[in-house]
Amino acid sequence: MSDGLAVWWPLLALRITTPRLELAIPDTADLLNLAEASGDLQPTGEPQFQQAYLYEPSPQRERHLLQRHWRALAHWRPDSWNLQLAIRVDSVAVGLQNMWAVGFAAVRTVETGSWITRTRQGHGYGTEARAAVLELAFAHLGAVEAHTSYVDGNTASERVSRKLGYITNGRRAYAEGGRRVVEHRMLLDAAAWAKHRMPGITVDRVRECLELFGL
């Protein structure tokens, strides 16, 4: 069904593959796997991901995940978009990799975020998934900058960013749940990306999507 709908919504046919992963718009099977996976992200007491909905009780968490997916597609505009891709390992969705932008055609800047279920962490999948969307952004969409962030204590996210060439780009503090949270911003420009570009990544069916990205 997705292949047929891709005639009108070509993002459904977009595929990014790495040596071990496939990234694609989630289908129904992916959404079921992601809803289940979202309940097991990290041990109690570790710094939380920045997506607060991941810490809601069931079934609110799963419903929120579905709503975010549907909202991203329903609200998509060439000048404001949020690409949410299932991270598939052996054809099973184990996490989400997001990339979003506002006014991309002029600004050529993207932001990214992601999560992977705890049982699949520690294998480098997060690095490959980020490298996959960076390949799309820089090599195929003509981005000049990519931004990301992590909260104090989330050293795994920081390591992924630095491994891919990001540099520190400021910080801010905000209140969440009655506590102070410090968010660290990071920046990757096109020259740094080229030096840290991961080999073996392919992007298929992107040409048909360029209009949707504002290009």
CB 39 within 8 A of CB 61: yes
Domain ranges, ordered by start, for the chain: 2-209
CB 72 within 8 A of CB 25: no
In whole angstroms, how far apart are CA 148 and each of 34, 53, 116, 157? 22, 19, 16, 9
Residue-level pLDDT at 58? 83
CB 94 within 8 A of CB 117: yes
As assigned by CATH, the class of the 2-209 domain is: alpha beta
Which tens digits make up the pLDDT trace of 123-155?
A: 899 999 999 999 999 999 999 999 999 888 788
Residue-level pLDDT at 170? 95
Residue type, 47: P
C-alpha to C-alpha distance for 101 and 202, rounded to whole angstroms = 22
- Tell which residue, 62, 94, 69, 103, has the closest CA to residue 83: 69
In whole angstroms, how far apart are CA 17 and each of 21, 180, 202? 6, 38, 5
Average pLDDT over residues 176-181: 80
CB 104 within 8 A of CB 177: no
Task: Please report the sign of the dihedral spanned by the C-alpha atoms of residue 82, residue 145, residue 128, residue 120.
Answer: negative
Mean of all residue pLDDT scores within the chain: 91
Q: Is the pLDDT of residue 122 over 90?
A: no
Residue type, 33: N
C-alpha to C-alpha distance for 10 and 115, rounded to whole angstroms = 25
Worst-scoring range by mean pLDDT, 22-26, 63-67, 73-77, 177-181?
177-181
CA angle 53, 59, 63 (to 5 degrees): 60
Of all residues in the chain, the percent with pLDDT exceeding 70 is: 93
Strand-strand pairing, 109-116 and 145-151: parallel
CB 176 within 8 A of CB 151: no
Quick count: other Cβ atoms within 10 Å of Cβ 179? 7
Local structure of residue 120 (DSSP, 8 states): G
Residue at token pair 């820089």: 138
Q: Is the pLDDT of residue 95 over 90?
A: yes
Local structure of residue 108 (DSSP, 8 states): -
Which tens digits make up the pLDDT trace of 16-50?
A: 999 999 999 999 999 999 988 887 766 555 555 55
Of all residues in the chain, the percent with pLDDT exceeding 90 is: 70
Q: Is the pLDDT of residue 156 over 90?
A: no
Residue-level pLDDT at 135? 98
Backbone φ/ψ region at 15: left (φ over 0), alpha (ψ -120 to 50), beta: beta
